[in-house]
Homo-oligomer: A and B are copies of this chain.
Amino acid sequence: MGWEINASEIDTPLGFQASGIHSGIKESDLDLALIFSETPSIGAALFTENSFKAAPVQISQKHLSQNNGVVRAIIVNSGNANACTGETGLTTALRMTEIGAQLLNISREQVLVCSTGVIGVPLPLDPIVTNSNYLKQQLSPSGFGNAAQAILTTDTSRKLCSALSNLKGKQIKIFGITKGAGMIHPQMATTLAFIVTDVAITQNLLYKALNEACRLSYNSISVDGDTSTNDTLAVIANGASNSPVINDEGADYSSFLEGLIQVCQSLAHQVTRDGEGAGKFLTIKVVGASSETNATKIARKVSNSLLVKTAIAGEDANWGRILMAIGNSGVSFNNHGVSIFIGDIQVCRNGEGLPFDERKAKMILKKNEIDVTIQFNDGNASAYFWTCDLTKKYVDINAYYRT
């Protein structure tokens, strides 16, 4: 049973509504979103590993420890991260969950809260209070489009993914929205991502699936190597599809996991493609490594090298920098067994340069999507990592925009 994936259409699971409005935290763009499951639902979430956790992260973690797994709603603002804002910030984040709870007639602990934007500036509560009824009125299944818009910061476009499949004769769906576009680095769930599904599943298995999907998606992308204070990846499952409950790691679980991975990868790739200033989407594939951990370490080091990322921006087949980054990974490997391919052109064999057609390499590097394969002869392990090039536009955005 496969999944039909669509990264442009909004096709939401049964029983979910969302809205996105302009409240006034930002000057003119949409800046406040609400996601709601009409029927009882459970939730799971992964958060930033940055030791400065923003107030909304702290409140969401607290609620998850108090709500017995029941998560019915997520309230999110952009334009202000409510991070490093002290006790006041915690009160504000808590108030946001109370506002959401009152609107939806559920308990506060069943509401998660997220914020994204500038760090260290108090988040004004007034715009949220003033516009809360409007936020509720706008709730609808198609409201996920505005919600996707309302969570963006430096992103150039909204990011969403719909997935459709069948389970024991019932149609099941997974739908997600996400935002980038800086401070993107794989440590736990990076950036904000909200996923809803109408499958029925136990909370334990939902967490297990979320961890695995996160590892292969959000934890395998990098824009700039920095981890934000607010990263959250949350999923809500309400069972509204009436498909049988997934309560063991059998075929149904595997099928759901496959769909969740595909949705998370689609969303994570959209984040990477829209990385601040990014012109090119780069897939780093490591094969033949001694372990998956080592393969990931190497892929990550190459993905984060400024010299590799700028070479890609310059469409320069400068494989020496790739080799340099591999050598800095801290992984032990057979140096004489390293091959590097840019697209299908081999540029390095046995750790040494090969003569290659620079013109053909240039044609590959002129494309927007570039594959780099690094081959070792140390074992059978492999890993993927996704990153983007580093352009002058990244510097422009980050020198003059206060995130």
Contact = CB atoms under 8 A, between A and B. Distances in A.
Contacts of A51: 326-329, 331-333, 335
A81 B49 CA distance: 39
Instruction: Name A's interface SS.
Output: loop
A109 interface: no
Contacts of A81: 320
A225 B306 contact: yes
A187 to B, nearest CB: 8
A307 B119 contact: no
A183 interface: yes
A324 B52 contact: yes
A64 to B, nearest CB: 20
Given A85-B353, A86-B351, A313-B399, 11 more contacts: A52-B324, A52-B327, A81-B320, A120-B323, A185-B328, A225-B306, A227-B324, A310-B398, A310-B399, A313-B395, A320-B403
Given A307-B398, A352-B120, A324 B86 contact: no
A353 B84 contact: yes
B307 A183 contact: yes
Interface stretch (A68-76, A125-133, A386-394): A386-394
Interface string A197-224: 0000000000000000000000000001
B324 A394 contact: no
A326 B52 contact: yes
B351 A84 contact: yes
Given A226-B328, A399-B314, A400-B314, A119 B323 contact: yes
A352 B224 contact: no
As for how many copies of this chain the complex holds, the number is 2
Nearest to A53: B327
A351 B229 CA distance: 13
A59 to B, nearest CB: 16
Interface in A304-327: 304-307, 310-311, 313-314, 316, 318-321, 323-327
Interface residues of A, number: 63
A143 interface: no
A121 interface: yes
A181 interface: no
B310 A395 contact: yes
A186 to B, nearest CB: 12
A307 B392 contact: no
A82 to B, nearest CB: 11
A87 to B, nearest CB: 9
A321 B353 contact: no
B391 A395 contact: yes
